[in-house]
Structure 1
Amino acid sequence: MSDRLTAVQRALTDAPADLIVECLAEAVARDYAIDIELLLVDYRLAALLPLTGGPPLTRPGEPAWRSFDHQSEVRDGEVGYLPVTGRGERMGVLRCSPAADSAETRGELAEIATLLAHELQAASAGTDRYTSAARTSRLTLAAEMQWELLPGRSRIRPSFSLAGQLEPSYAVRGDSFDWAEQDGRLYLSVLNGHGEGTSAALLTSLATYALRNARRAGLPLADQAALADQAVFAQHRGDRHVETLLLELDLDSGEMQAVDAGSPRMMLLRDGDVLDQPLEAQFPLGMFESSEYAPQSFTLRAGDRLFIVSDGVFDAATGTSRYGEAALHRFVRRTGSLAPLQAVRSLLGDLRVFVGGDLEDDAVAVCLDVTAASRQ
């Protein structure tokens, strides 16, 4: 590591949580003679917003958006753009002026952009500055609760790539997702809590925390569902329930266990074909005092893509026309060349165009790619 890169890293780690970018900019200007500016992606994945103010960038073809979408350096004349991403979580883009000329400097700036992403993730527990700056409008209280509940929006590891998105992003209510990776296994849940406003958000939060509690206790997938089912029923006595899909993927073998508790829709994209992945429907969480759940299994292989959507996607309507399963299958087929975050962003953007604005019902879309060869 060069002396100047070490100095910049020290400036990052020593910076106050709410002044990380300013301290970084001072160090980069001193040691590299380059001015930097952070552009944060908004909750809808539709705008790149300068942290210090200024007009948002909303046109997909702009250089900053090409850097964000393709996760690579993009140069536009004397200005360069670098993705700010940590462990697959895309936070935005770093604008550099002038763009670096030497390969060494370009490599160090790319590393700085990654270091910045990790520092922003660490700082999020201590300041509201960056979450506030990533908004084009005020979130509803329910949406605030739902976004705070998420583990992130995207994740990349050697064996998988994963992303999820909520819509309407600034007013989502009961739809959500959760994931965790441990000991060679990926756990994924997609939830749809019934109701409106904060009551739906509270219901989904209860189910999510109950599932996390059971998962962190090392319980099998079916027992995770049963514990969450009991927690929701104890609170609402069967008046409210949460449609949930629970998945557990063995990253070595590709074996997927699933519990379909009245779940969202799941599709498999394999070798260019879209197939509905059928599962035996079981009772949603909280519907009855004591429900038993049984996992089912299927196998994924390298190159497979799972797309999971709630009913707010395929039931989206305008007038007498529904988006429907046929349109959904066509769209999923076209996403094969897109990274998971681009795929869910494109799908929900297509839905907004279809209905002519925000969706009336909230929706969740999750995309999982299996990228490492399995033993199958």
Structure 2
Amino acid sequence: MSAPPVGAGRGFADAEGRSRIESLGERVLGSLLDRAHLMPPRLVGPLVAQEIISVGGADVSIWLQDYDQRSLQPLTGPGLVGDPAPIEGSWPGRAFISDTRVEQELPDGSRRLYLPMLDGSARIGVLAFTLSAVDDNDRRLAQRLAGLTADLLVTKADYTSTFDRVRTAEPMSLSAHLQWQTLPPLIMTTPDVALAGILEPAYDVGGDSFDYALDEHVLHWAVFDAMGHGLEAATMATIVVATYRHGRRSGASLPDLYVHLDDVLSSTYPGRFTTAQVGQLDTETGVLSWVNAGHPAALRIRPTGEVTELGGPISRPLGLADAAPRVQTAQLAPGDRVLFFTDGVVEERLADGHQFGEARLREFVERTSREDVSVSETVRQLSHALMDARGGRTSDDASLVLVEWRGPPRDDELARGIIGGLPAGNIDR
């Protein structure tokens, strides 16, 4: 007869027999979670501030990133402080850019903690507050508070416009609004693969869009550029994304997805078309497969910073197909990144009348890659560098999607300590 499990007859217990008595951290996080269930969205920020202040925190700030990813916009309400802050060159911006905690020592010896609010890996914003003193126990609790706050904001955002209004730093066109409602999270990161995408101009995008999904060990992704501009193009792009998701969720292969997309477009929008790149990445082997339906060739970026073109045959745009698609493949090495982009990135004309061009894009990619930053920050910096180089002008939408294969999954994927990592602190017994 086997021995009874550790803690038998006691309810929850771990292998070391640690007490179930609630610690300070458990009480704060538990209280926040319990009270948030029925809390209206407008009170989420004040609720977080109240709980932090109740255990010694002060000057609580919650910033959300704006749609253009250039500024952090503050939530307001009882217990909250803070003004809009640029992402570049500010204390909260440093935490946002690095996706890590940043600490500021204040003149009176207290410390202000700036904590990225991440929903998984998606950047929501930054939580900040001041403590009179800080040790690793405080840092651990602070990071968990930031994570829980991010989750609450994302959950409540499904049935409120409050947070969208905070994030909207300038007027947004109807076409852009339609596209933002269609987009998946801009960032997805796991130990095996990472993806980040961005659309420009964020407040006036029309026909560009992208989508992705990670199913088992396959990352599916697609980048689209619907014909035309404004609301007409945005409406077509919405149909394209919905069609892509319908086919993908049905388990269609890349050739079948191409045919499905072409059939729907040709019957719904006769004579019109959408260019696209549709692909899959096997996260166990690093084999990348894709169909290029009229886009510029993708760029492969090695960990060394070397940039090469993933050229190959181009299939007809969706809606104008006259033959089976040409599926291309490439073997990636761990650490390789692949940048997919629409023609608006390279065909925009500069002040001197010349096109921005693929050669100049490569220069920007090489320069950004040498800075050794995350996939999400690489895309943000690259997009803004391209826009700034064009004087902030754009006559066409421009989309970037960057995929990184980090290597095959480990055998012990669920082992403690592999994913995440917080300051160890002490464990109450």
| TM-score normalised according to structure 1 size | 0.94
The answer on whether the counterparts of 1:64 and 1:93 sit within 8 Å (CA) in structure 2 is yes
**Which residue of the other structure, out of 367, 384, 401, is the alignment partner of 1:349?**
384
Letter of the structure 2 residue corresponding to residue 300 of structure 1:
L
CA 1:213/1:57 → structure 2, altered by over 3 Å: closer, same or farther?
Answer: same
Letter of the structure 2 residue corresponding to residue 42 of structure 1:
D
**Larger radius of gyration between Structure 1 and Structure 2:** 2
Give 5+ residue unaligned stretches, structure 1: none
What CA distance in whole angstroms lies between the structure 2 residues aligned with 1:131 and 1:162?
23
Q: Secondary structure at the match of 2:233?
A: helix
Identity of aligned residues (%): 29
More moved, 50-59 vs 320-329: 50-59
What CA distance in whole angstroms lies between the structure 1 residues aligned with 2:400 and 2:297?
10
- Name the counterpart of 2:265: 232
- Name the counterpart of 1:15: 39
- Name the counterpart of 2:397: 362
CA 1:42/1:100 → structure 2, altered by over 3 Å: closer, same or farther?
Answer: farther
What CA distance in whole angstroms lies between the structure 2 residues aligned with 1:291 and 1:212?
22
CA offsets 1:267-325 (integer angstroms, 9 cap, x no match)? 0011321001013100111124x642242211112110111111111112223232212
Deviation at 1:357, TM superposition (A): 1.7
How do residues 1-376 of structure 1 correspond to structure 2 at under 5 angstroms?
Answer: 2-52=26-76, 55-58=83-86, 60-76=88-104, 77=106, 78-98=111-131, 101-237=134-270, 239-270=271-302, 271-288=304-321, 291-318=323-350, 319-336=352-369, 337-373=372-408
Q: Secondary structure at the match of 2:86?
A: coil
CA 1:217/1:99 → structure 2, altered by over 3 Å: closer, same or farther?
Answer: farther
What CA distance in whole angstroms lies between the structure 2 residues aligned with 1:17 and 1:280?
50
CA 1:160/1:10 → structure 2, altered by over 3 Å: closer, same or farther?
Answer: same
How many residue pairs are counted as aligned between the two chains?
Answer: 373
What CA distance in whole angstroms lies between the structure 1 residues aligned with 2:133 and 2:284?
41
CA offsets 1:243-289 (integer angstroms, 9 cap, x no match)? 0101111110111111111124410011321001013100111124x
The answer on whether the counterparts of 2:61 and 2:128 sit within 8 Å (CA) in structure 1 is yes
What CA distance in whole angstroms lies between the structure 2 residues aligned with 1:235 and 1:66?
47
What CA distance in whole angstroms lies between the structure 1 residues aligned with 2:212 and 2:87?
31
Give 5+ residue unaligned stretches, structure 2: 1-24, 411-429
Q: Secondary structure at the match of 1:333?
A: helix
CA 1:226/1:61 → structure 2, altered by over 3 Å: closer, same or farther?
Answer: same
What CA distance in whole angstroms lies between the structure 2 residues aligned with 1:55 and 1:34?
16
CA 1:100/1:212 → structure 2, altered by over 3 Å: closer, same or farther?
Answer: farther
The answer on whether the counterparts of 1:316 and 1:351 sit within 8 Å (CA) in structure 2 is no
| TM-score normalised according to structure 2 size | 0.83
CA offsets 1:167-213 (integer angstroms, 9 cap, x no match)? 11100011111000111110010111111111100111111110100
The answer on whether the counterparts of 1:254 and 1:301 sit within 8 Å (CA) in structure 2 is yes
Q: Secondary structure at the match of 1:364?
A: strand
What CA distance in whole angstroms lies between the structure 2 residues aligned with 1:372 and 1:37?
38
What CA distance in whole angstroms lies between the structure 1 residues aligned with 2:222 and 2:296?
10
Letter of the structure 2 residue corresponding to residue 60 of structure 1:
E
1 or 2, which has the higher helix percentage?
1
More moved, 303-312 vs 99-108: 99-108
Deviation at 1:12, TM superposition (A): 3.4
CA 1:307/1:298 → structure 2, altered by over 3 Å: closer, same or farther?
Answer: same
Q: Secondary structure at the match of 1:202?
A: helix
Deviation at 1:147, TM superposition (A): 0.9
Letter of the structure 2 residue corresponding to residue 29 of structure 1:
I
What CA distance in whole angstroms lies between the structure 1 residues aligned with 2:53 and 2:328?
56
The answer on whether the counterparts of 1:143 and 1:173 sit within 8 Å (CA) in structure 2 is yes
Deviation at 1:19, TM superposition (A): 2.3
RMSD between superposed Cα atoms in Å: 1.8
CA 1:219/1:100 → structure 2, altered by over 3 Å: closer, same or farther?
Answer: farther
Deviation at 1:37, TM superposition (A): 1.5
